[in-house]
């Protein structure tokens, strides 16, 4: 059974940093592309970032480019999102999402972790 469990969310002040983690199980992590997607309170889904199977090729939405960094550790089945220079508009539930094969289309989602940016 595919499982994705996010952690690391919480309350952070504007301008601060946070690192989200996602532990994957139930599939061969190193052979799948991975994504981060967020959902602001009461809003729709926004794709943020994707990473290739090797971790060498990251992709970002314009809204987070230069502030967020995606990475992965295939030896630990872990996906990360380093979030810097956080803004109030980054407040959202952040989902880790598994790609379909090596691509970035999404088949499975984690339960999400809430990030609140507020003073």
Partner 1 sequence: DIVMTQTPLSLSVTPGQPASISCKSSQSLLYGDGKTYLYWYLQKPGQSPQLLIYQVSSRFSGVPDRFSGSGSGTDFTLKISRVEAEDVGVYYCMQGLQLPLTFGGGTKVEIK
Which phi-psi region, left, alpha or beta, contains residue 12 (left: φ > 0; alpha: ψ -120 to 50)?
beta
CB of 1 to partner 1, least distance (A): 11
How far are the Cα atoms of 1, 13, 26, 76, 107 from residue 49, in angstroms, in the given order?
Answer: 24, 22, 22, 20, 15
CB of 13 to partner 1, least distance (A): 27
CB closer to partner 1 out of 18 and 51:
51
CB of 28 to partner 1, least distance (A): 17
* Residue matched to tokens 């009461």: 42
CB closer to partner 1 out of 2 and 14:
2
Per CB under 8 A, residues contacting partner 1 are 35, 37, 44-47, 50, 59, 61-62, 95, 100, 103-112
CB closer to partner 1 out of 78 and 109:
109
């Amino acid at each position: 059974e595919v499982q994705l469990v996010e952690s690391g969310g919480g309350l952070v002040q504007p301008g601060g940093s946070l690192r989200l983690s996602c532990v994957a199980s139930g599939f061969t992590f190193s052979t799948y592309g991975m994504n981060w997607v967020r959902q602001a309170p009461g809003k729709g889904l926004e794709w943020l970032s994707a990473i290739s199977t090797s971790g060498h090729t990251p992709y970002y939405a314009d809204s987070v480019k230069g502030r967020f960094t995606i990475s992965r550790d295939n030896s630990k089945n872990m996906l990360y999102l380093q979030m810097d220079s956080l803004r109030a508009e980054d407040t959202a539930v952040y989902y880790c999402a598994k790609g379909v094969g090596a691509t970035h289309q999404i088949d499975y989602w984690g339960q999400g972790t809430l990030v609140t940016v507020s003073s």
